Structure 1
């Protein structure tokens, strides 16, 4: 029986990984948040959330990570201004999703929601009020309270990351007002009619 050498096995493994990579890239797969789709259309950005807000911290970190946009401290310095229309204190909620046969909680529904819009320095609306709602189900077991608290915190953190990615996608799709105003605002004229014979 023929045996394979470690070198041949390594070459086979590398070949399989290369084939898998090519297959994933051919089907359009990208790691979440990768690519130029998150390049924002303004050089400076103001985030209208409290400095200590975990969402603000995560959003600012993500904006800085993609480069091209600088976070500024006041709206007057910003080309793009994120205005949060929902109450920042009520972005997270927890409600009972289901009960067991004895009437005790079996599952909770965790929610994370935000309504925001984006304006430019002149007050033009670049992105109208946009609502993002995320939910996750949390199985509950009262004999594992500490573990379930940790799981809840992780689920909220995952939803927050997802929320930031969705906000980035929507902002990256904004077409700046300046670019649209480059075309002269001249009313279209009707073509001159041919002189009658």
Structure 2
């Protein structure tokens, strides 16, 4: 009696057909991988609280996405006369950082008053405008919160965990800001 087992080329054809149907199904539902952001401007100036960790990471992310980023420490235009107007290169958009703060709040205690739970918060407020003061993005507040348990016998480990959570929140805020800047379609 002959076995009903499909041959290798036939199995391969069935697998290719199944994979092709899956890919077509995913493309039909609107699924697409996230692409690199495109911006309506080529040059952006970061002002306000530009020395904070979030602002520095945001500057690096914008540079990595192909934008020219200017700050108060950006050197004067090469070959320009030494006038105050020539000292600051002109940006197409101005990102003003209004608030960049980290908070650590006690949210749980034992009956003896010992801390058992903390809440870590990162608040970032910014706006985007043109040099002619046309508002592109009005004041936006991004607030991220993370809960963390606390044990005084594990202070070093909890400190490392806290720093990791702050780093994660900082990266999340940077990605949110980059996506919002990419959503601006025209100056």
TM-score scaled to structure 1, two decimals? Answer: 0.68
Answering whether residue 93 of structure 2 is matched by residue 80 of structure 1, we say yes
Please report the RMSD computed on the Cα atoms of aligned residues, expressed in angstroms. Answer: 2.6
For residues 157-194 of structure 1, the C-alpha deviation after alignment (integer angstroms, 9 at most, x for no partner) is: 100000111111111111323xxxxxxxxxxxxxxxxx
| 2:115 counterpart residue number | 105
**C-alpha displacement of 1:49:** 4.1
For residues 44-82 of structure 1, the C-alpha deviation after alignment (integer angstroms, 9 at most, x for no partner) is: 011114453211110011111122x11123575211111
Is residue 92–residue 110 contact of structure 1 (8 Å, CA) maintained in 2? yes
4+ residue runs of structure 1 moved beyond 4 angstroms? none
SS in structure 2 opposite 1:35?
coil
Is residue 46–residue 82 contact of structure 1 (8 Å, CA) maintained in 2? yes
- Which of 134, 153, 156 aligns to 1:146? It is 156
- Count how many residue pairs are aligned between Structure 1 and Structure 2: 152
Is residue 46–residue 80 contact of structure 1 (8 Å, CA) maintained in 2? yes
| 2:185 counterpart residue number | 175
For residues 15-56 of structure 1, the C-alpha deviation after alignment (integer angstroms, 9 at most, x for no partner) is: 9xx89x969x767374xxx413x2221110111144532111
SS in structure 2 opposite 1:156?
helix
| 2:129 counterpart residue number | 119
Alpha carbons of structure 1 residues 51 and 84: separation in structure 2 relative to 1, 3 Å: closer
More strand by share: 2
TM-score scaled to structure 2, two decimals? Answer: 0.71
| Ranges in structure 1 where 5+ consecutive residues have no aligned partner | 1-14, 178-197
| 2:82 counterpart residue number | none
Is residue 48–residue 98 contact of structure 2 (8 Å, CA) maintained in 1? no
| Ranges in structure 2 where 5+ consecutive residues have no aligned partner | 1-15, 73-87
